[in-house]
Structure 1
Amino acid sequence: MNFREVEEFFKTKNVHAFLVHQHGEKKVTYYKAEECTSTPYKINSITKSIMALLIGIAIDKGYIENVHTPIKTWIPHIPKEKEKLTLYHLLTMTTGEKWYEFKKEAIFPKEFANANNWVEHIVDTPMNEDPGIAMNYNSGSSHLLSYILQEATSMTTEVFAMKYLFEPMRIEDVTWQQDAQGVYNGGFGMAMLVEDLLKIGILCLQKGEWDGQQLISKQWIEESTESLFRTYEHVGSYGYQWWILNSHKDDFPYHTYFAMGFGGQFIIVIPQLELVSVIHSYMPKRGLIPLQQFLAYIKNEYSF
């Protein structure tokens, strides 16, 4: 696979970068302009998938017991109806809360973003179904993961990320927004270099190993990227803050998982092909097009 036709297609769109790493080496390096190589771009909801990696590290290191720990451990004032919510429900976005953020594509959660206290807003959001039943896209769940990480580790999420993930991988040029209370945004608000996004994908492909060091347990990577809940018909399934294409349900030849940011940012991992791809674009109304084009090429190549 040389991905030339995909690259040519992306040249006609507002795609800043397209990278493909396969079998241990870079196969494609496309940047729309020279400055794209050194610009830290917003990655929007790819932040969620990085947040899940941080939760995995916190569990590996004993700061958090396991995914089934009730969130009231860190939020003791939580309403009675939410006392059974666990980290698992946050990771899989199956909290059962009345939250509107996704139709054909993601919709910016203005009510949440405009709240004076994000954590309190999430905690006070009512439920309209039992937890663990269905996935409903919810940036609030991701933000609670960041809050809980800070409570569990007595570090800010940024300090924890730098210490256990970014510094070991030499990821330095990162900016990350905070809410009014100083909690780093678990659902969006991070910016980094495209090359560093590729590192994140390679780390996952290598089952959490980087430069001879196991930064995240192999078990966590496998558990996070398992197809757990069906989502929206045109997107696939969901794991722990990762989107999943299931070869049995999505008419796609390989188990694939990906991080997705609003407007067209993606980290795509296809373990069977030993492949990681990063696409960074800004197409607010048609953000799924780069992903669909890339996957269509993979599927077409597979058919021969």
Structure 2
Amino acid sequence: MTLTSLLPELAAHETGSCLVTRGQTALLTYYREEHMADSLAKINSCTKSILSALICIAIDREILPHWDTPISTFFPALLQSSDKRKREITIAHLLTMSAGFRWNEFGGLNSFPVMTKQPDWVSHVLELPMADSPGTVMVYNSGCSQLLSAILRQASGLSTAEFAERYLFGPLGIQNYSWETDPGGNHTGGFGLKLTPPDMLKFGQLFLAQGIWEGQELLSREIVQQALKPALTATAPVQAEYGWHWWISEITGETAAGAAVSLPYFYALGFGGQYIAVVPGLEVTAVVTFDKIKRRSQQVHIFRTLIAPLLLRTL
């Protein structure tokens, strides 16, 4: 059975696009409407994984210091905080969502919607009370991503989008994109980026190739491996391990011969079922986008429940 057998189901779920490749060879190319191949898709929190790559590039190029550097280097006001734990927060803690801020991404007093209503998003996050010691608990937090975007801008002297154009989008041939900013001019670190599905696929293929694109090293193999190393276990918004703004899990199923199999994979996940998934053991990269989110409970699982089982049967 080939992946093209999924076309009726993808259409039934009102999938916007679904692209699957093995290496550079297309296994499935689906667009609900032909123009979607060239149209910008709202990738939501997949933005976080793009930002992570930019932070990796900045560390590789020594534009940013080592990931264990305290963020008070960039936000010295934290040194005056009455809570000493804020002085311990590092770049890595932001990347692994373990900074320790009291935060509820999906509601409550310290939530993502509250941040987006502030005149200064960065100060708002930095001034939040602490709930945990840095590095101990993963709490999904788009505020951490916003701090990373601000740090990258401060360290490089470029906006996050300009940095991306120079070191990531340019080499990948990504020209068509849109990226929101906060009131302070920082590009949104946790959401707000729009890319075409083929360009999302390029990004996943870059990480499948351990940072190499058309013979050029955009990210070092060492930092790619660090970014994809499970750091902490998360329970929300999904149950999985979490690395540097990447989700890390396993796909399980049966081979064509009926043998049980489990393969590790990593993925970027955006609200409403946006996916960039990479299965190194199969050399597979997959992209799923949706522009209709009324049935998101089904959309979020398109890769794991529909695509992954068929991929495993190719073994």
TM-score (norm 2): 0.89
Deviation at 1:5, TM superposition (A): 3.6
Q: Which residue of 1 aligns with 2:34?
A: 34
Determine helix, strand or coil for the equivalent of 1:253.
strand
Match of 1:198 among 193, 201, 213: 201
Determine helix, strand or coil for the equivalent of 1:257.
strand
Q: Which residue of 1 aligns with 2:136?
A: 133
Tell me the alpha carbon deviations over residues 156-191 of structure 1, each in whole angstroms, 9 at most, x when there is no partner: 111111000001111000111111111111111111
Q: Which residue of 2 aligns with 1:262?
A: 271
Q: Which residue of 2 aligns with 1:243?
A: 247
What letter corresponds to residue 266 of structure 2 in structure 1?
Y
**RMSD between aligned residues:** 2.2
Deviation at 1:37, TM superposition (A): 1.3
Q: 1:247 to 1:133 in 2, by over 3 A?
A: farther
Tell me the alpha carbon deviations over residues 15-73 of structure 1, each in whole angstroms, 9 at most, x when there is no partner: 11000011331111100001211211111111100000000000000111211000000
Q: Is the 8 A contact 1:227 1:245 kept in 2?
A: no
Distance 1:185 1:240 in 2: 17
Distance 1:213 1:179 in 2: 33
Moved segments of 4+, more than 2 Å: 4-8, 282-294, 296-304
Please list, as runs of the form range in 1=range in 2, the aligned pairs for 1:207-218 lying within 5 A after superposition.
207-218=210-221
Distance 1:209 1:67 in 2: 21
Distance 1:290 1:16 in 2: 10
Q: 1:290 to 1:254 in 2, by over 3 A?
A: farther
Deviation at 1:293, TM superposition (A): 3.5
Deviation at 1:244, TM superposition (A): 0.8
Distance 1:88 1:286 in 2: 34
Question: Which consecutive unaligned segments of at least 5 residues does structure 2 have?
Answer: 253-259
What letter corresponds to residue 76 of structure 2 in structure 1?
P
Deviation at 1:288, TM superposition (A): 5.0
Deviation at 1:252, TM superposition (A): 7.3
Q: Is the 8 A contact 1:258 1:268 kept in 2?
A: yes
Tell me the alpha carbon deviations over residues 111-159 of structure 1, each in whole angstroms, 9 at most, x when there is no partner: 0111110001100111111111111000000010000001111111111
Please list, as runs of the form range in 1=range in 2, the aligned pairs for 1:69-84 lying within 5 A after superposition.
69-78=69-78, 79-81=81-83, 82-84=86-88
Q: Which residue of 1 aligns with 2:184?
A: 181
Tell me the alpha carbon deviations over residues 258-282 of structure 1, each in whole angstroms, 9 at most, x when there is no partner: 0011111100000000000000013
TM-score (norm 1): 0.92
Please list, as runs of the form range in 1=range in 2, the aligned pairs for 1:1-304 lying within 5 A after superposition.
2-78=2-78, 79-81=81-83, 82-102=86-106, 109-232=112-235, 234-246=238-250, 253-284=262-293, 286-287=295-296, 289-297=298-306, 298-299=308-309, 302=312
Q: 1:123 to 1:252 in 2, by over 3 A?
A: farther
Question: Which consecutive unaligned segments of at least 5 residues does structure 1 have?
Answer: none
| Greater Cα shift, 227-236 or 281-290 | 281-290
Q: 1:6 to 1:136 in 2, by over 3 A?
A: farther
Determine helix, strand or coil for the equivalent of 2:54.
helix
Distance 2:12 2:267 in 1: 23
Deviation at 1:284, TM superposition (A): 3.4
Q: Is the 8 A contact 1:44 1:187 kept in 2?
A: yes
Distance 1:219 1:153 in 2: 22
Determine helix, strand or coil for the equivalent of 2:176.
coil
Deviation at 1:226, TM superposition (A): 1.6
